[in-house]
Chains A and B, each alone.
Chain A
Amino acid sequence: MISIPCPYCGPRNSGEFRHVGESRPRPDPQTTTPQEWRSYLYLRANPQGWTTESWYHAAGCRRFFQLERSTDTDEVRALADRNMT
């Protein structure tokens, strides 16, 4: 169980969070194409190394936030701009 640095609550066990996954922008639903929309839904870059991803502190402050995690080592670090906006 890795430790997640919640920007609001401090470090907590990952069991308190939902792993939302790789952060990716939502295409404009008015103009999007099936290819673009479905890659937004289903395709992930899944890099080996550092990736920016979202977590939801479900059993805590109920905030969504982003952090960086190395998929190699599970090392995590806070983002300067931690919010999802």
Chain B
Amino acid sequence: MTSYRLPPLPGEEIDRAQPISFTWNGKPHSGFAGDTIVSALAAAGVRTFSRSLKYHRPRGVLTASFVDPNCTLQVDDEPNVRAAHRRLGPGMTVTSQNAWPTLEFDVKAANQLVGRFLTPGFYYKTFMSPRPLWPAYQKVLSRFAVGGRTTRDAPHGYYDQRFAHVDVVVAGAGPAGMGAALAAAEAGADVLLVEEEYDLGGHLRWGGADELAALAALRAEIRARPDIEVLPNSVVTGRYDHNWIAVLQRSGLRDSGVVERLVKIRAGVLVVAPGLIERPYVFEGNDLPGVMLGTAVRRLINLYGVRPGARAVVMTANPEGDAAVADLRRAGVEITRVVDARRGEDIRRAIGHGGVREVELGDGTRVEADLLTVSIGWTAPTSLLNMAGNSPVYDADAARFRPGAAMPPDVIAAGGIVGDGTTSDLVEHGREAGREAARRAAGGEPQAIQDLSGARHPEVFRADTHGFVDYSEDVSSKDVFGAVREGYESAELAKRFTTATMGPSQGKLELVNTISVIAEATGSLLADVGTTVWRPPYAPLSLGALAGRSSEPSRVSAMHRWHVEHGMVPLVAGQWIRPDSYGDPQAEARNVRERVGIIDVTPLGKLDLRGPDVSRLLECVYTNTWANLAVGSVRYGVMCAEDGVVFDDGVTGRLGEEQYFMSTTSSGAAAVWEWLENWLQTAHPEWQVHVTPVTTAYASINVAGPRSRDLMSRLVEDVDLSGDAFEYMRVRTGTVAGVEDCLMWRIGFTGELSYELHVPASYGLHVWEALMAAGAELGIAPFGVEAQRILRLEKGHFIVGQDTDGLTKAGSAGLGGLVRLDKDDFSGKPELVWAQGTDAPLLVALQPIDGTVVPVEASQIVVGDRRIVGRVTSSRMSPTLGRSICLAQLAPELADPGTTVTIVRPEGGTIDAVVMASLAQVDPDGVRLRA
């Protein structure tokens, strides 16, 4: 194998003492530490790295940087690796993508022959009809648009997140960025310096002796400053409002087990110093392997010691191209022709099959060459500035877009993105930006920094032949002309129609060429076509980095371990994980009706309310009356929002003259707390009420069933539990299983004699186990949420949000008696007054005539020609009645008891059901409850 590796060079970043072995498409290769995957392969003479998206044309190195559209490879189980950026690692398995069966012989290259049919809009126009065939089309097309491969067993890796607060973030560590970081730090700011590549320095890295000397000095200064944190191989992916900045950190992490880290930063000032990206030239054959940008050639030679070819034609319009000529000569490459665009010289096409063989010049002469180096202009990556509200302006003299005038005070552009200059000009511009950034971050009034003017540069965009404007999307200048002919004259439309600039490099290489072709095709000035809008992310992010580690907490009660040990079937309810059942909810429900059961209801919202004005607050938030609630009593209440719609319900008890204890639904706990604070802080700040959330300060257990009093009496010493002394809807404080200060409420969601215990959370498990032990001879069994739902449905108790919806006002939920319109004011009162007499749906109980059928919840109820008159809101098999039972919302004219209605079953057919006299279908008179 011929080696294209050059003798050692002064600025090279490879370590020739450290060879690294890897494989490329199954064959063993080796490179050096510091090589990119592509530089190591280029050193071995590899010229073709990929096949293009549509036409499967062979593609080689173009930019030799992260944005290289032709060097996206599969590395081990990671697809779409930017291999001209990613450093070589030992043992890597590198393969090409989008080629079949092999990179050298790709059958889909036949697409080139039908290229004229694959023009923009081809897919839209051809495969849209007939519509039903789309799934079949999609299967075939997706095989043609394949990227890399992922496997299900690929290790997931650990993706981290970090939050940072820094004074100054500097995006880009070229001469200006390094200058900005140093000056900002010297002025007292904390600085984060973010560099997309592995090493600091930008274009100084592949420069001559002077640049290398300047670079070494700058690097040493930065290393010496602990107040500058450097993130190499990291990129600022977005700038959002108030300088909320996202940085993707790609490396320096793998040893710590972190694949990538997303850093979210609130920054004082963002200095944008990304430098410039070299722009490709549009001509026939501009995608042949062997056509490279000047910066690519200079990187390959100076950083990696790779000779990029043997015989070169160089087209140059600027000092970068001139420097490429010098570098190529130094690397022993024969320069067969220098085409100087500043003198009006041009090339016409690159000729070759699988790679450049000849170059046809503007005058028609043909020159033999295997390398065509092109340096015809620059693109300023203004994406971050655009995200900050700045619109770039085209400067015809400099032949590139430059930042516009309107810049928010917390963003400063510096260096090459602004203008041109010598190394020291760029460093000094960065220093000025850094000083100003530190001053503004410390609260100083913004002052303008000096402008850096753009050097004169000829406008060179396209030869007199057509070539690719977008390599990743296989869009040619001819396609853009075609789009304009079809009427897509604005950049935003032509971009979407052709998909130019919409590929993986997101326009960094392609945008300016695309709009220059649009300008040419429409006969307008490039400045008038304008750019398209840049949105985050600036660079691609992996989904892993976005997902990061989960920071969603989950909540469990003090009895959780017991539930797990006793076979709980978990239910995830918001943040809570609680037992849905212990295996057989029907049996659990029967046991409550016949003997006694206990359920963990810790997630119930609990609020401790104290102060002289609590009852006034309760009058405001509940629809019923509270002023007359006696100490020792509890009351059920419904809360409405100001639109009269039911939003929560629960029981509140009065423990003392100025002390109340409120329970809310489990899901509504946070909202009710906020609602109370809202009334206290905004409507009645003069009221003296203290609200303390105690949801997790107490473990809550409901003891339910005919034997619950018997069970309680075995564990409670200091409270008289007899029916006369501790009546239904009363609250007592006492000692349970030796635990003092337990709250006991006699209430019954299940419809049984029951006690709800709120015990200090740390004793929750103790009391639970004591109940289980003491209840053994009474036939105790735990029950879960599902059994509770069955029991409450038998009793006709509704659940907010299940049996009510976003339109259910308090009067229509079967709660007319709980709405006291004679109160002066309460939340939602005006709407409830106006809702009187309207025909809102009513909540009713239904029994399907065939009691073996349990209609699916949300089934529609219809009359006649399938007019919808209601829907089933809850539906279960009742173990007590041995038949199915439902709650439903129903039009009032059909809500009379005994009316037969028709339920449509989503699985097909209908079933008739009868409206019941009472919402409660078990014990409608409440005998069991009040036992």
State the A residues within 8 Å of B (CB). Answer: 1-3, 13, 18, 20, 26, 29-30, 32, 34, 37, 40-41, 54, 56, 58, 62-64, 74, 83-85
Contacts and interface: CB of A to CB of B under 8 A. Distances in A.
Interface stretch (B186-194, B358-366, B559-567, B827-835): B827-835
B681 interface: yes
B642 A41 contact: yes
A74 B241 contact: yes
B769 interface: no
A37 B678 contact: no
Interface string B643-683: 10000000000000000000000000010001001100111
B682 A2 contact: no
Interface in B232-287: 240-242, 244, 266
A84 B244 contact: no
B244 A58 contact: no
A13 B163 CA distance: 11
Report the interface size class on chain B.
20 to 34
B266 A84 contact: no
Main secondary structure of the interface of A (DSSP, over half): loop
Contact of B674 (A29, A56, A83): A56
A64 B682 CA distance: 7
A32 B830 contact: yes
A1 B241 contact: yes
Nearest to B678: A64
Given A2-B241, A2-B242, A84-B682, A29 B677 contact: no
Contact of B677 (A3, A30, A62): A62
A13 B244 CA distance: 9
Nearest to B834: A34
Contacts of A29: 824-825, 829-830
Contacts of B825: 29-30
A63 B681 contact: yes
A26 to B, nearest CB: 7
Residue from B678, B825, B830 with most neighbouring chain A CB atoms (10 Å): B830
B10 interface: no
Contacts of A3: 242, 244, 266
A34 B829 CA distance: 12
A41 B674 CA distance: 18
Nearest to A33: B830
A23 B681 CA distance: 14
A20 B682 CA distance: 12
Interface in B809-866: 824-825, 829-831, 834
A56 B241 contact: no
Contacts of A13: 244, 266
A58 B681 CA distance: 14
Interface in B21-46: none
Contacts of A26: 642, 683
B830 A37 contact: yes
A80 to B, nearest CB: 17
B685 interface: yes
Contacts of B677: 56, 62, 64
B681 A1 contact: no
A72 B585 CA distance: 55
A58 to B, nearest CB: 7
Contacts of A41: 642-643
Nearest to B240: A1
B681 A84 contact: yes
A85 B830 CA distance: 23
A14 to B, nearest CB: 9
A20 B266 CA distance: 24
Contacts of B240: 1
Contacts of A54: 682
A58 B241 CA distance: 21
A83 B684 CA distance: 12
A85 B678 CA distance: 11
A56 B670 CA distance: 12
A74 B681 CA distance: 26
A26 B266 CA distance: 37
Residue from B240, B678, B681, B685 with most neighbouring chain A CB atoms (10 Å): B681
Interface in B440-498: none
Contacts of A2: 241-242, 244
A1 B674 contact: no
Contacts of A40: 642
A84 B831 CA distance: 24
Nearest to A36: B830
A58 B674 contact: yes
Contacts of B834: 34
A37 B644 CA distance: 12
27 contacts: A1-B241, A1-B242, A1-B244, A2-B244, A3-B242, A3-B244, A13-B244, A13-B266, A18-B674, A26-B642, A26-B683, A29-B824, A29-B829, A29-B830, A30-B824, A34-B834, A37-B831, A41-B643, A54-B682, A56-B678, A58-B670, A62-B677, A63-B681, A74-B242, A84-B681, A84-B685, A85-B682
Contacts of A18: 674
A42 B878 CA distance: 42
Nearest to B828: A29
A52 B891 CA distance: 43
B640 to A, nearest CB: 12
Contacts of B683: 26
A26 B643 CA distance: 12
A25 to B, nearest CB: 10
A60 to B, nearest CB: 12
Nearest to A62: B677
